[in-house]
Chains A and B, each alone.
Chain A
Amino acid sequence: MIRTLTSRFLGYAILIFFALVFLYPFVIQIANAFKTEANAAANPLSPIPDPFTSASIERIFEGTGFPTWLGNSVLVTVVVTIGRVAFGSMAGYALSRLQFRGRRALFAGLLALMAVPPVVLLIPKFLVLNQLGMYNSYSGLIVPLLADATGVFVMKQFFDSVPVSVEEAARIDGAGVFRTFRSVVLPMAKPALITLTILSFTGSWNEFPHTLVSVQDPSLFTLPRGLADLVSGSLGAGTQYPLKLGAALLATIPVAIIFVIFQRYFVRDAAAGSDKG
């Protein structure tokens, strides 16, 4: 009895300690975004801004490119998410269900592409965008992200796990491949589609290295790129931590909202990762 109690107490103590470790940085971020610079420097730990000021937030909207970055981020995220879900589910379906020669080779190629680490693609992507005349344009920012190997893989694994019978019935009724896909397969694949949507949304919203090599015009920056430049542009700009933290906070909010709403899908994604291999 005593042992259970102590172990329970100990368990909670550990959990609460780590919850603080994992969440307090966000508290610091929120609090300091509303502090004056002097106060932020003097009391970085305090969760209460004293005095409270939204001057930094106002400056973010008026004195930086933030509104532009936000607009670009929304555009990129929406288009990329739609593209990834559409192309990922189509390709995943074909690789799982449709019989055509070359399928195995394609799947092997897909597995190979999944092993390509994004950071080694920095220079290569820049070269190809240049060669295609897409560098420093919205198309360069968006098109390369429209499909990702992992998305195709996730969808293929999903279709592999679903019995064929329902579709077969539709096919016997004389529906073609496209109609079956649209009216039978997609509705059935809803959970996987939600997972893919979330993956694509967070992935493209947070995407940084690609924006670094695909655009250099500030009017094409997305939030992560704008934020990174805000931080590294040292001369003249000074530290201005409340402003930077505020901008980082605003960039985090959309993902946080999606996370809270679709939590269980996130957790499942991570768990699903353990099947990848």
Chain B
Amino acid sequence: MTRLRHAALAAALAGSLVAAGCGSGFDDNGSTTTQQSAGPADLKIMIASSGDAETKAVQDAAAQWASSSGSKATVTPAQDIVQQLGQALAGSTPPDVFYVDAARFADYASVGALEPYAQGMEGVDSFLPNLRQSFTFEDKLYCVPKDTSTLALQINTDLWKKAGLTDADIPTSWEQLRATAQKIKAKNITPLAIGDTRDRIGAFLVQAGGYWVSPDGKQATGDTAQNVEALTYVQGLLKEGLAKYPKALDAGWAGEAFGKGKVAMTIEGNWIKGALTADFPNIKYTVKELPAGPKGKGTLSFTQCWGIAAKSKFKQQAVAFVQAMTSAEQQLSFSKAFGVMPSRQDAQATYQQQNPDDAAFVAGAQYAQGPVNAPKMDSVLADLDSGLQGLQTGDPKAVLQRFDKNAKTALGG
């Protein structure tokens, strides 16, 4: 009888051990043995969509590619791509193709999750050099940028008139921005909505001649006189009620507050066009370059690339898919659909021609600062964002010092 009990116990234990030992979930051999198969593929594509417009445009383009290539291509918009991709990569079930934000790129590349397919890709030289730089890790170009966008100033023309302002009031410097905002506030309109993250407020740093990190991205340069000046300026706007964070306006992001007509101005990127057309078609606005700071004009640029998973089974087809998505023609059609700028040099001219209203975004691309691009920086940058969320009552210098301290540890310098 004891034997039976032992047998049962052993069986239960063995069951769990065998299951644990022979699990098929993890690909223990890493990326070296992934099967390369030619022919029709079943591609899974995960995108971080800026809205319904983008989702639909990418889905349509993918469907078109699928029908012409005989493969299947399923596009899934992720609600939170960092988290979903993180779980998928750890679960060895990553999508074949996915958006990679320049700010997160180094994290993925440094752990070997990305296939450096762009190295030898045909026509890779047509992409804008500074964007290519954003997706280079240890001298290897991993993926090609899907598009780019820059920050600019959006002005609600109806509210502008209501506040008794004219084109002459459009701010081109920090002083004018403050003066104009005061006039708007006097009319009981909230002047400016600005996102409470480094990706918006950082533009002011550039205008003041500073930035979070050194140009080579290897050193933290938070606590400088320029940056303190910039943050103190932004803090002043917040304190006087001349600028507000989106949450204070009951909005998920600044563009929503702008679209609802709650603010006269906002600072967002190209994506705001598509979002406004889709959600708030009646809003009338114009786009201007960001006001210049003490050290001249400055803005931020953003870009994402089409990453291919190192563990994808269909790398060949995935590369073909990316090529189709990044052709000059396709990029222009994406631009039309959701307002981003092409990442290819050979598409720039046509884009400018087709979108005269976007002069401000295009101009910004000339002097824009790219995102912080180093691995292990995400939690540091998230911490910086939480400092910026509390900027209104916080101490700008303390926020910057804290960033420096944390960034130094992460950058290993």
Contact = CB atoms under 8 A, between A and B. Distances in A.
A197 B23 CA distance: 33
A237 B52 CA distance: 8
Interface residues of B, number: 33
B20 A131 contact: yes
A130 B76 contact: no
A173 B230 CA distance: 89
Interface in A128-150: 128-136
Given A229-B79, A232-B80, A236-B51, 7 more contacts: A41-B250, A131-B19, A216-B87, A235-B50, A238-B256, A239-B252, A239-B256
Contacts of B256: 238-239
Contacts of B90: 126, 130
5 contacts: A100-B5, A101-B5, A126-B91, A216-B87, A239-B256
Interface string B1-33: 010010001000000000110011110000000
Nearest first, the 5 closest Cβ-Cβ pairs linking A and B are: A236-B51, A233-B79, A131-B23, A133-B25, A234-B252
Contacts of A136: 88, 91, 93
Contact of A236 (B23, B26, B50): B50
A114 to B, nearest CB: 20
Given A41-B250, A131-B25, A102 B80 contact: no
Contacts of A133: 23-25
B406 interface: no
A213 interface: yes
B251 interface: yes
Contacts of A124: none
A216 B46 CA distance: 11
Given A102-B5, A213-B87, A235 B25 contact: no
B23 A130 contact: yes
Residue of B2, B50, B51, B91 with highest tally of chain A CB at under 10 A: B91
B92 interface: yes
Residue of B54, B252, B256 with highest tally of chain A CB at under 10 A: B252
Nearest to B88: A216
A132 B5 contact: no
Given A131-B23, A131-B26, A133-B24, A234 B87 contact: no
A218 interface: yes
Interface residues of A, number: 28
Interface string B197-224: 0000000000000000000000000000
Contacts, number: 77
A135 B93 contact: yes
Given A101-B5, A216-B87, A233-B80, A239 B251 contact: yes
Given A218-B76, A239-B252, A129 B25 contact: yes
Contact of A132 (B19, B50, B76, B87): B19
A141 to B, nearest CB: 13
A235 B51 contact: yes
B410 to A, nearest CB: 22
Contacts of B240: none
B282 interface: no
Contacts of B9: 102
Nearest to B274: A236
Contacts of B80: 229, 232-233
Interface in B47-78: 49-52, 54, 76
A100 B279 CA distance: 67
Interface in B65-120: 76, 79-80, 84, 87-88, 90-93
B5 A238 contact: no
Residue of A102, A132, A134, A229 with highest tally of chain B CB at under 10 A: A132
A135 B91 contact: yes
Interface string B211-255: 000000000000000000000000000000000000000111100
